[in-house]
Amino acid sequence: MGQYPFRRLQADLAKLISSLPAESRLPSEPELARRMGVSRATLREAMRAFEGQGMIRRRQGVGTFVVAKVPVLDSGLEVLESIETLAQRIGLAVNMGELQVEQVAADQEDATALNVPVGAFLTRVARVIYTENRPIAYLVDTLQADILPTADIETGFNGSVLDLLLQHGNPKLVQSRTDIRAIGASQEVARALQIQRDDVLLHFVAYLYSNEGRVADYSFSYFLPGYFRFHVVRKVG
């Protein structure tokens, strides 16, 4: 399919999506592809753009649904803040979904990231963040067990490891280094976010440092692009 027909397909899909009320279910992929006169692969490629914008939500094995517009979480990357803090600033209600807390033994990747021996005890916290019953982020933090024992997050945890560490005040956190890229969702992440495997996500890999130069937290964050906008303010020179 050439560039113009593909743009026309996107325009036709945008018109269809905007004409339907929130929570409406779109026709199945085979039916919609037939109606639009394109292959399912081409249709799927176009649909991913709308999912990234937060206009539709595909639930594996269920169907594709139109979603209501929600405020975008807009943040500069110069200051590290939790999703909960960003949401509170714009009056958006977010809540934590499924929470998994476990003690694990460091594998080679964990050991390298946290500068600990292979086999060292670590605390791993994985959870999904929701707004209006829609998952928008999947977060996984790994920390040395002495920094965050599993007992510390059994009650009263709101989803933000950063906020919990700041509340504790020890260790003192001073800096974060974050690698940012766009990736296709793995099967595990797709299941957590109720999207299709290989759908595009914003992926943050972050190292949170204490004032002693120790990596206090090694984390993976997966964001649905339609609900987040990140920017950087830089000096010229």
DSSP 27-94: PPHHHHHHHHTS-HHHHHHHHHHHHHTTSEEEETTTEEEE------EEEESSS---HHHHHHHHT---
Per-residue pLDDT tens digits for 57-91? 878 788 899 887 777 888 888 889 999 999 998 88
Task: Go through the domains of the chain in sequence order and give each one's CATH number.
Answer: 3-66 (1.10.10.10), 73-231 (3.40.1410.10)
Per-residue pLDDT tens digits for 202-231? 999 999 999 999 999 999 999 988 788 898
What is the rounded average pLDDT of the residues 191-212? 90
4 pLDDT band, cuts 50/70/90, is very low
Most confident of 7-11, 27-31, 108-112: 108-112
CB contact set of 96 (below 8 Å; sequence gap of 6+): 127, 128, 129, 130, 157, 158, 159
- Quote the pTM value: 0.79
Per-residue pLDDT tens digits for 131-170? 888 889 999 999 999 999 988 887 779 899 999 999 999 9
